Amino acid sequence: MNFLTLFARNLRRGPYTERFPFGPPAPAPKRLRGRIEFEAKLCEGCLLCEKLCPSGAIRFSRTAAGLAFDCWHSTCVFCGTCAFYCPSGSIRQTTDWSLAHVEAEMFAVAEHGLIPTIVCAECGGKGLDTASNVAKVRPPLSDEEYAQLRRRCPKCRNKFLRNRGKTS
């Protein structure tokens, strides 16, 4: 193929490169390890992800409003350990790789979430609206029973499950 033919063909085909950053980011492969996402309502509050994170990108902190979750994307090394070991699927790894930012935004490029503080429906003490792993509870909890369980502090949750076992 001579130069002119090649030139004409490439003119017809247009550019091979993506228009990013002037257009949308290029689609990523399905298994790309990108930005971390957190879904507070699925979180069991076990703090395993914070302990396992090799770069210290995940922090849980107690606040008056509840248990706050922060994951700084500028510290994350996208290893996927948190998502792999999370027992509840509340941390997911997306394929979003477009996280470029200026230095001044370093602490703003983050994922935040909050597990709210609750007042226990049984004893009136404080608890957290964490998810509860009830996969092995037999017979399985109905949606209403699960909602009742979540409205209780850890001690009253145990009592609730014990009493339910006796009555079922």
Site string for ligand SF4, 48-67 (x = CB under 6 A): xx---xxx-xx---------
| 3 state SS of 118 | strand
| H-assigned helices in the chain | 3-13, 48-52, 81-85, 143-150, 154-167
The residues in 87-126 that bind ligand SF4, with binding defined as CB under 6 A, are 87-88, 90-91
Contacts (Cβ under 8 Å, ≥6 apart) of 79: 33, 54, 55
- Closer residue to ligand SF4 (CB): 59 or 164: 59
Nearer to ligand SF4, 49 or 141 (CB): 49
Q: Does 128 bind ligand SF4 (CB under 6 A)?
A: no
How many CB atoms within 10 Å of residue 42? 16
Residue ranges binding ligand SF4 (CB under 6 A): 36, 43-49, 53-55, 57-58, 71, 76-82, 86-88, 90-91
